[in-house]
Amino acid sequence: MNQFLKAITRPEINIIAEIKYSSPSHGPFLCQRPAVEVAKIYRENGAAAISILTDKERFQGDLKYLKEVSETDDCLPLLRKDFIREPRQIGETLENGASAYLLIVRDLTPDQLVALMELGAQEGLLPLVEVHSPFELETAIKCGARVIGVNNRDLGTFKVDIETAFKIARLLEGEPGYTLVAESGIKERSQISELRDAGYSGFLIGSVFMDSEDPGAKLRELRGES
Task: Give which of 37, 99, 97, 34 is closest to 67, Cα–Cα.
Answer: 97
| pLDDT grade for 155, boundaries at 50, 70 and 90 | confident
pLDDT for res 156: 76
What are 3-34's pLDDT values in tens digits?
Answer: 999 999 999 999 999 999 998 888 899 999 99
How far from 159 is each of 59, 91, 125, 163, 170, CA to CA, in Å?
17, 33, 31, 12, 21
Q: What is the CATH number of the domain that holds 66?
A: 3.20.20.70
d(CA 62, CA 96): 11
Structural domain of residue 198, as residue ranges?
Answer: 3-222
What are 24-71's pLDDT values in tens digits?
Answer: 888 899 999 999 999 999 999 999 999 999 999 889 999 999 999 999
How far from 12 is each of 106, 125, 144, 224, CA to CA, in Å?
30, 23, 26, 11
pLDDT for res 226: 63
Residues designated as active site: 18, 20, 81, 130, 151, 183-184
What average pLDDT does the structure give for the chain?
95
Total structural domains within the chain:
1
d(CA 215, CA 139): 36
What are 175-201's pLDDT values in tens digits?
Answer: 999 999 999 999 999 999 999 999 999
Q: Strand, helix or coil at 121?
A: helix
Residue, of 198 and 159, whose pLDDT is higher: 198
